[in-house]
Amino acid sequence: MAKTSESHPWLVVLVFAAFAVIISGVYLNFPEVSPEEKMHLKYPRNLEDAKQLGRVLSKYKENNYSVVLSGVIVVYIFLQSFAIPGSLFLTILSGYLFPFHVALLLVCSCSAMGAAICYTISNLFGRSFVLQKFPERISKWQEDLGKHRDNFLNYMIFLRVTPIVPNWLINIASPVLDVPLSPFFWGTFLGVAPPSFLYIQAGSTLEQMTHASVAWSWNSVALLGGSALLSLAPILWKNKMKTD
């Protein structure tokens, strides 16, 4: 067991190196651009970065569609995997670059895959560390959550739809609390769809956007609220049937 534990850091290094190789490959296959454009080929940290990157990618997308699509996918998964900020602006950028259905599938899939990788990394490192530091508290939380094991998928969808808990914290804490990977993955895939819908839709008007919160309105709140209630409806129904 000790040997396996010692080998875990190398797994993370290998994952990081694999992403670096793939991203480098996409970058090297990108058509030649001017020095002014090259400076904008970086993952967006703010809305202005997203606009500049969107202009460059849009210019070359028609003749290099697969390269542009692959680049967005790989960078998106990478950011999610290592809990690096910036995926929100990639969501907006996806709405600017691709048809709505393509962008939504891309964001949901990349979010779920990146979260699953982050989950795995946390399971390899964080879980044993946290259990050693807080064994009684974690054991109690695991026991309490275990009583709702049949509803993990619905709870995960609810957490992803609502901004109650940051996504990076959900990714890191889930393996520690014994949330199985399957409901974690599919709950993420389905749960990120409603908020992504808003940002992708806003991304179609990226050039006119002045701040990321432009995607929010009373209709947006109603959509997320309705989605959150819908995710909990099966649980409420089960509880009602038990009490009748």
What tens digit of pLDDT does each residue of 108-137 get? 999 999 999 999 988 888 777 677 766 677
Q: What is the pLDDT of residue 202?
A: 86
CA atoms of 85 and 195, how far apart (whole Å) = 16
Q: Is the confidence at residue 31, as pLDDT, over 60? A: yes
CA distances from 55 to 36, 52, 143, 242 (A): 12, 5, 51, 56
pLDDT (tens digit per residue) in 145-172: 777 788 899 999 999 998 788 898 899 8
Q: Is the confidence at residue 8, as pLDDT, over 70? A: no
Q: How many CB atoms lie within 10 A of CB 66?
A: 10
Q: What is the pLDDT of residue 11?
A: 79
Section 34-62 average pLDDT: 88
| Torsion sign, CA atoms 21, 190, 100, 226 | negative
* Domain span at 188: 2-243
Q: What is the pLDDT of residue 212?
A: 62
Mean pLDDT, the chain, rounded, equals 85
DSSP 217: -
Section 92-108 average pLDDT: 95
Section 23-49 average pLDDT: 87
pLDDT (tens digit per residue) in 72-88: 999 999 999 998 888 89
Q: Is the confidence at residue 2, as pLDDT, over 70? A: no
State how many domains the chain has: 1
Q: What is the pLDDT of residue 116?
A: 96
Q: What is the pLDDT of residue 7?
A: 46
Q: Is the confidence at residue 4, as pLDDT, over 60? A: no
